Amino acid sequence: MNIKQLVIHVSCLSALVAAAACNNDTPTGNLEVAFEIGSGVPCDNVEDVTVKLIKFGAKPDVDGVLESTAELTVDCSAGKALLTSVETGKYNVIVEGTDAEKTVVVDNGLTAATDLAEVLEGSDTSAGTIKLSPTPAKLLFRWELNGFLDQCDKVPLKNFEIIGYKNAGKSPIAMGAFACDAPVEDPVDFYRQLPDPDRDLDGDELDSIEIAPQDATGNTVGARVVFNITPPGAGKTVKLSVSTKCTDTTCDLECAASPCAQD
């Protein structure tokens, strides 16, 4: 074999390797996601909007987080985001809008399970217009059992009933409860977050929170407390603390501060 033939064979081999590499490249496409708040109202306090694509059927990691395949943040006023070179496939589309404090104040949480899009190889596709709505407020609650009776199995109190109100405490909007021995989610400050799967805690309306001590059958077993607050706004967090004074038959609640106020 002469030098010229050797060069030709090497060139052909290189071309075959390159072709194989190209064939193994992940196919991609582009996806445009338009979004609007409610019926198309102005962005107002929403500054940035982040669009995330989560592989359809993906499972959360050990921390309960769903990893996004693609993500892009744009100005809210843009009204849309173009995600390019996205791996082909079917995705759940997650859209979140944040305010100046980086709080998520609007999202598509009401429809995230059905906001789907498919990315096609070499194509520009659209997810349509994703509707955003205000995120609910978050209510964090902690308590301390004072006195000799300082363990849940020694007191009549078994649950803390929580009711959130609007209209100056007249109209209930959310209700829930914490077991006295509920696991602590925050090992530093000992707060528990009130579950709100239906997003009932409207932060623009929440102005009063009632907390009552109950026994195992749901009967009130002592003095309740009421926190009257300024509505925190969408997505904002309300932190409340109470202490208890228990006997063998009763448990009275007291606010950590007087008058009752947020932490």
Count of CA atoms in the C-beta half-sphere (13 A) of 131: 7
Q: Judge if 91 and 179 occupy the same domain.
A: no
φ and ψ of 77, to 5 deg: -65, -15
Q: How confident is the model at residue 259 (pLDDT cuts 50, 70, 90)?
A: confident
Please indicate, yes or no, if residue 19 is contained in any of the structural domains. Answer: no
Residue 21 has pLDDT above 50, yes or no: no
- 10 vs 42: CA distance, rounded Å: 62
Please indicate, yes or no, if residue 66 is contained in any of the structural domains. Answer: yes
Q: Are strands 104-107 and 70-75 parallel, antiparallel or unpaired?
A: unpaired
Q: Judge if 111 and 171 occupy the same domain.
A: no
User: For residue 26, what are the contacts with CB-CB under 8 A and spacing of at least 6?
Assistant: 87, 88
| Model pLDDT, residue 18 | 45
Please, what is the end-to-end C-alpha distance for the chain in angstroms? Answer: 85
Give the H or E element holding residue 172.
strand 171-179
Please indicate, yes or no, if residue 235 is contained in any of the structural domains. Answer: yes
Residue 124 has pLDDT above 80, yes or no: yes
Q: Judge if 150 and 220 occupy the same domain.
A: yes
> Model confidence over 180-196: pLDDT tens digits?
999 888 888 999 999 99
Share of the chain above pLDDT 90, in %: 75
Q: Judge if 172 and 99 occupy the same domain.
A: no
Answer with the one of 134, 152, 171 that is the final residue of a domain.
134
User: For residue 184, what are the contacts with CB-CB under 8 A and spacing of at least 6?
Assistant: 190, 192
Please indicate, yes or no, if residue 89 is contained in any of the structural domains. Answer: yes
Q: Judge if 64 and 162 occupy the same domain.
A: no
Chain-centroid distance of CA 217 in Å reads: 32
Please indicate, yes or no, if residue 62 is contained in any of the structural domains. Answer: yes
**CATH number of the domain where residue 61 is located:** 2.60.40.1120
Mean predicted confidence (pLDDT) in 121-132: 96
Residue 5 has pLDDT above 80, yes or no: no
Residue 90 has pLDDT above 90, yes or no: yes
Share of the chain above pLDDT 70, in %: 89
Coil, strand, or helix at residue 153? Answer: helix
Look up the domain containing 113 and give its range: 26-134
pLDDT mean across residues, the chain: 89
Residue 4 has pLDDT above 70, yes or no: no
Answer with the one of 134, 164, 199 that is the final residue of a domain.
134
- 212 vs 220: CA distance, rounded Å: 7
The total number of structural domains that make up the chain: 2
**CATH number of the domain where residue 211 is located:** 2.60.40
Q: Judge if 38 and 74 occupy the same domain.
A: yes
| Exposed / middle / buried, residue 47 (Cβ in 10 Å: 0-12, 13-18, 19+) | middle
Please indicate, yes or no, if residue 18 is contained in any of the structural domains. Answer: no
- 110 vs 117: CA distance, rounded Å: 16
Q: Judge if 129 and 47 occupy the same domain.
A: yes
- 254 vs 169: CA distance, rounded Å: 19
Q: Judge if 143 and 130 occupy the same domain.
A: no
Q: Judge if 129 and 164 occupy the same domain.
A: no
Q: Judge if 143 and 251 occupy the same domain.
A: yes
Q: Judge if 143 and 101 occupy the same domain.
A: no
Mean predicted confidence (pLDDT) in 136-152: 83
Answer with the one of 97, 114, 134 that is the final residue of a domain.
134
| Model pLDDT, residue 147 | 61
| Model pLDDT, residue 180 | 92
Residue 3 has pLDDT above 90, yes or no: no
